Amino acid sequence: MTVDPMRTSWDDAADHQRTVEKELASFPGAAVVQVVQGDAHRADAVVAELHAATVRVTDQRVLATDGDIAWAWLVTDMAAVVHGATEPWTIFDVPGISDFGVALPADEVARFREVIGGLPGVEVRHQDATGVMPGVPVVPPHEPASAVPASLAAAPSFPPPDPDTGPVPLVIAEATSPAPSALGALGAAAVAAAPAAAAPGRLLSLPDSPEGLAGLDARNISAWFGTHQVLDRVSLHMEAGKVTALIGPSGCGKSTFLRILNRMHEMIPAAAMAGEVLLDGHDLYDANRKLTDARREVGMVFQKPNPFPSMSIYDNVLASLRLTGTKASMEVKDELVESCLGKAGLWNEVKDRLRSPGGGLSGGQQQRLCIARALAIKPRVLLMDEPCSALDPTSTRRIEETIIELVNEVTIVIVTHNMQQAARVSDHCAFFLASQGTPGVIVEHGPTDAMFNAPQDTRTLDYVTGRFG
């Protein structure tokens, strides 16, 4: 067991690098949209509204945020933007993905398009440049199926997930290079583990199993939001094929640390970090490592279940394939759905209603559906941020059983405030603490039995026995 001293300052400011973004404009009352039929350039395109959002344009990206949810498109990866001819939407065209974008309030369209037109290196295209002046319907979410064209009724609806109540936005979509894709958190791990987009029309045979169990090493991790430091030189080894629980009171940096493990933190404007995250000895933050490669191997499940309610159970499991442009044969899809639902402990409960909406499941079933969706990407590490906090005791027990069963094939790191849960499911624990306005640190970490029965630091003893926190 290791005990680390509390540290209150960053001693080497030269190692701390920040990239400052300049905000150009902000547009409340906007929405995230998706082309669900046709091509954005063509008159027959049908665009569906996914959820409301505030859109911000900076010199580096376009952000669409809704509470804790954020979509991000990097300017450097945009091949072009496509403006609707008669509708107030814009689709961001990046290699491999050309069907996600934003819709603006009618009175802000002109200003938004002027700002977008000023972004360096971004080609602006208008739908009416094709010679057609169509009326393109923007279909609101949750419209009754009878009012939606048959071709659209089967298309996924993307209501806003609500992954947690913390202050850190969750990256739902982004454009990356050279193999960019729209990555969905999907309550699971499409953000964390999205396969590269397939060539058009190519059928992919998905891998049968993960590449192998992998351990994570976080070394000297420090994190900031603006000038506020939230973590100070945190180091932790998360052993392959084990469950590591991160415990500690609210506000000590546990969830921030978890997001750093799959590079979500870097997508937050004004956020910065220092240190290394090694997956099997390779730094996930290496400048030569693609973001999509890092997230392909490290998946995530969030605090509140967030399946797409209007999407079927079957399609929820496979949602990440569609978002990444990955095609698979029907046989492969069927096998993948059964396998992932089985591993998540849900197959026997839903096998006779796979085409029913995912939103019709109970809270515990929805969370297991999100776990199944994470497993469809076949990550080597699965991060779980308080996955049972919104569930009843019976559902919590089933999720815990699923965690114990899954650890045979994927390394798991879980944040929990439930000390009994940490004792039940984890092999190792790390106790985070931030006191008197100082950044969070790991006070002590080691085998779970030792942490609960013979901690070396009195603060650990006080926390696990309920004297504070």
CATH of the domain at 341: 3.40.50.300
Decide if 355 contacts 153 (C-beta within 8 A): no
Domain check: are 134 and 35 in the same one?
yes
Residue whose token pair is 């000023």: 118
Q: Please list, in sequence order, all residues whose beta carbon lies within 8 angstroms of the beta carbon of residue 300, skipping any fewer than 6 positions away.
A: 185, 188, 189, 191, 192, 258, 262, 264, 374, 382, 383, 384, 385
| Residue 331 in domain | yes
Rounded to the nearest 5 percent, the helix, strand and coil shares of the chain are 25, 30, 45
The answer to whether residues 127 and 267 belong to one domain is: no
Q: How confident is the model at residue 129, as a pLDDT?
A: 46
Same domain, 235 and 325: yes
Whether residue 225 sits in one domain with residue 112: no
pLDDT of 392 reads 87
**pTM (2 d.p.):** 0.65
Same domain, 31 and 143: yes
Q: Is residue 17 domain-resident?
A: no
Q: Give yes or no: residues 333 and 425 share one domain.
A: yes
Beta strand spans in 116-242 (E): 123-126, 138-139, 170-173, 216-225, 228-238
| Structural tokens at position 395 | 């559902």
Q: CATH number for the domain including 141?
A: 2.30.29.30
> Quick one: 137 and 224 in the same domain?
no
DSSP 38-53: S-TTSTT-EEEEEEEE
Q: By three-state DSSP, how is residue 465 classified?
A: coil
Hey, what amino acid is at 309? Answer: P
Q: 106 and 229 share a domain?
A: no
- Dmax (CA) of the chain: 75
pLDDT value of position 322: 65
Q: How many CB atoms are closer than 10 A to CB 25?
A: 15
* Boundary (domain end) residue, out of 159, 175, 205: 159
How many structural domains does the chain have?
2
Residue 243 and residue 407: Cα distance in Å, rounded?
7
Gap between the Cα atoms of 382 and 75, Å rounded: 30
Bridge partners of residue 279, in order along the sequence: 216, 282
Q: 155 lies in a domain?
A: yes
Integer CA distances (angstroms), 332 to 40, 106, 203, in order: 29, 44, 10
Domain end (from 117, 135, 159)? 159
3-state secondary structure of 81: strand
Residues 109 and 223 in one domain: no
Burial 76-90, CB ≥16 within 10 A → b, else e: ebbbebbbbbebbbb
One domain, residues 277 and 362: yes
Answer whether residue 52 is part of any domain: yes
Quote the pLDDT of residue 176.
Answer: 29
> 178: how many CB neighbours lie within 10 A of its CB?
10
**Contacts of 11 by beta carbon, 8 Å cutoff, 6+ apart:** none
- Check residue 257 and give its pLDDT: 96
- Domain end residue (candidates: 127, 159, 191): 159
pLDDT in tens, the chain (469 residues): 544 433 333 334 334 444 567 889 999 999 988 787 778 888 778 887 877 889 999 988 898 887 656 677 888 888 899 999 888 999 998 776 677 899 999 999 999 999 999 999 899 998 854 433 333 344 444 333 333 333 222 333 333 333 333 322 222 333 322 222 223 332 222 222 222 333 333 333 444 434 568 899 999 999 998 889 999 999 999 999 999 999 999 999 999 999 999 888 877 777 889 999 999 888 998 888 777 677 778 988 888 887 877 779 998 898 877 665 567 889 999 999 999 999 999 999 999 999 998 889 999 999 999 999 888 878 899 999 999 988 889 889 999 999 999 998 899 999 999 999 999 999 999 999 998 889 999 999 999 999 999 999 999 999 999 888 6
Comparing CA positions, the residue from 224, 219, 274, 233 lying closest to residue 432 is: 233
Residue 88 lies in a domain: yes
In a domain, 404, yes or no: yes
Q: Do 149 and 156 form a contact (C-beta atoms < 8 A)?
A: no
pLDDT the model gives residue 439 = 94
Identify whether the C-beta of residue 345 lies closer than 8 Å to the C-beta of residue 281: no
Q: What is the CA radius of gyration of the chain?
A: 22
Report yes or no on 16 lying in a domain. Answer: no
In a domain, 172, yes or no: no
Query: Taking the CB of residue 167, how many other CB atoms lie within 10 A of it?
Result: 12
Question: Element (H or E) spanning 327, and its range?
Answer: none
**Residue 290, number of CB atoms within 10 A of its CB:** 15
Range of the structural domain that residue 89 is part of: 23-159
What's the chain's length in residues? 469
User: Both 322 and 450 in a single domain?
Assistant: yes
What is the full DSSP assignment across 228-251? EEEEEEEEEEE-TTSEEEEE--TT
Does 152 share its domain with 300?
Answer: no
